[in-house]
Structure 1
Amino acid sequence: MKQAIWMFTLMAAFLAPSTVQAQKVVAKIKGSDTCLPLSQKFAEVYSQKNKGSGISVLGGGSGVGIEALLSSTTDIAQSSRKMKLDEKMKLQKAGKKVKEVIIAYDALAVVVHPANPVSKLTREQLEGIFTGKITNWKQVGGPDMKIIVYSRETSSGTYEFFKEHVLNKKNFAPSALLLAATGAVVQSVSQTKGAIGYIGVAYIDKQVKAIDVSYDQGKTFVKPTIANAKSKKYPVTRPLYYYHVTTTERNIKPFMDFILSKEGQHIVQAEGYVPTF
């Protein structure tokens, strides 16, 4: 699937004469598809406000972004998972000291085709479905219909988070169809009546139906909403990260300050993510 590069180089208001540090930022962001819409909005709004800024945003997966940081082909790696020890060691060996910043929080939603009558599942049932032990919807109270599992590919931080926190580190079913982008999961589930997949809540739309999830063996089911994620009622919630090499910090600091500001975190909420405060 083609990756779309978003470039925002827009005119903005002049800085006040008393401002010492220039606010112009030219930078590349690459990595997590979960972070992609949010980073695009950050780049758009920041560039509108700061003359001469040019911030490009590219997806591809968390692992891809971190590899780009290692190869010096991006300034910021956006990631939906924490950087692994071996990735840190590679960067350290290359003489790169990396800073980690939590920019927002995200909730993972399990989605099915809108025509599927199943509306809630336990974590144990989800584990059974995604590992291939449960193969028909009638096994979980649905119609006699084969379950088609869609997943992100292995380089995705979303894939790794789902495997660890929902599947209890068990492997996905060999029959699971791995897709390169979250948008592809939404499209595939929307076009397949027996399908199931998982996406960030910011990607939920009318094309798919989000499933209520229980982490207490069916006693309580919780909807995957921003409000429930913010209140910590919804259990499948995770931080989203920006990683950058410390030597570039001075160049990107105005942009990072904007993201973590009240205005930046209002963008987080408006785009369907959970603010850091």
Structure 2
Amino acid sequence: MKKLFLAGLLVVGTLLTGCGQEKSTVVQVKGSDTILNVTQGIAENFMEKNPKAKIAVTGGGSGVGISSLLNKTTDIAMASRSMKQSEIDKARELGIGIEEVVLGFDGITLIVNNDNPVKDLDSVTLGKIFRGEITNWKEVGGEDAKIVALSRDSSSGTHEFFKEHIIRGGEKNNLEYGAETLYMPSNEAIKQEVKSNKYAIGYIGMGYMDNTVHSLSVDGVTPSKENVANKTYPIAREVYWYAPSEREGVIKELVDFAISENGQEIVEKEGFIKR
């Protein structure tokens, strides 16, 4: 775990329902769609072992989760990107102590339709495709057809990570997704569109990958668990829970369980790499 900061007193445990009222007994976990399923799995397993515990897990994107944490409307934020400096500064201003907990590792997987003959693209070419500079599959060894580029929406941490590392090539610049990029609300939505559209390309968390679509090698490296673990796959990243720095009760027990051997088995079962 990495402590980002600790400022002032932070009331932990559950959310206040109002001034002078009792606290809710439901622990709220909100945020990243990428790690929604694995977090649900962890929560369900934890509640089976702790029948009195009540945990509600909802998605919405990394940005939604982090803003909810800052607004004190969730207890734990799920995120597929690191907190931005502006979010860290906001937490400090509010006197909120937050700890970054690495839940596991993910490889952002580029997917195409199973009938698409293109099987490998390099990072530079991917950047050109998603910036709208390459618009026809024939330019990259495919059919003479328009490329349909799919991205997660701007509330997604995966959207931000992909923009930083592929659209902008890991450099500080103002490059953006192409004007004709289609923005999708979830990993599953991207996968379903690629499955039904022969000329679509999109990206998903590796935990969502199945044989209904085809994964691309990036820079000649396949998005396998082994290649994410040994850091040879070029667009791998950590995925996080952001939790109170000072915590107790169910929140502390849930975080401890998530990073325990049992919790990490669930992370691996859901298609991610253990921390």
Fold match, TM over 0.5? yes
Count of matched residue positions in the alignment of Structure 1 and Structure 2: 246
- 1:246 shift after superposition: 2.9
In structure 1, the partner of 2:176 is: 171
- 1:63 shift after superposition: 0.2
In the alignment, does 2:87 pair up with 1:87?
Answer: yes
CA distance in 1, matches of 2:105, 2:93: 30
Q: Deviations over 1:14-56 (max 9, x none)?
A: xxxxxxxxxxx84111000011011010011111111211111
In structure 2, the partner of 1:246 is: 245
CA distance in 1, matches of 2:143, 2:51: 57
- 1:124 shift after superposition: 1.2
- 1:247 shift after superposition: 4.6
Q: Is the 8 Å Cα contact of residues 75 and 248 (structure 1) preserved in structure 2? A: no
- 1:154 shift after superposition: 1.0
SS in 1 for 2:274: coil
In structure 2, the partner of 1:197 is: 202
CA distance in 2, matches of 1:103, 1:239: 8
In structure 2, the partner of 1:267 is: 266
Taking the TM superposition and a 5 Å limit, the aligned residue runs for 1:92-103 are 92-103=92-103
- 1:97 shift after superposition: 1.3
Over the aligned positions, Cα root-mean-square deviation in angstroms equals 1.3
In structure 1, the partner of 2:77 is: 77
Q: Deviations over 1:57-108 (max 9, x none)?
A: 1111000001111111110000000001111111222221111111111110
Q: TM-score, normalised by structure 1?
A: 0.86
In structure 1, the partner of 2:229 is: 230
Q: TM-score, normalised by structure 2?
A: 0.86
Percent of aligned positions that are identical: 43
AA aligned to 2:196 is Q
- 1:231 shift after superposition: 1.7
- 1:245 shift after superposition: 2.6
AA aligned to 1:146 is K
AA aligned to 1:177 is L
Which structure 2 segments of 5+ residues have no match?
Answer: 1-24
CA distance in 1, matches of 2:31, 2:179: 26
CA distance in 1, matches of 2:132, 2:86: 30
CA distance in 2, matches of 1:91, 1:262: 31
In structure 2, the partner of 1:20 is: none
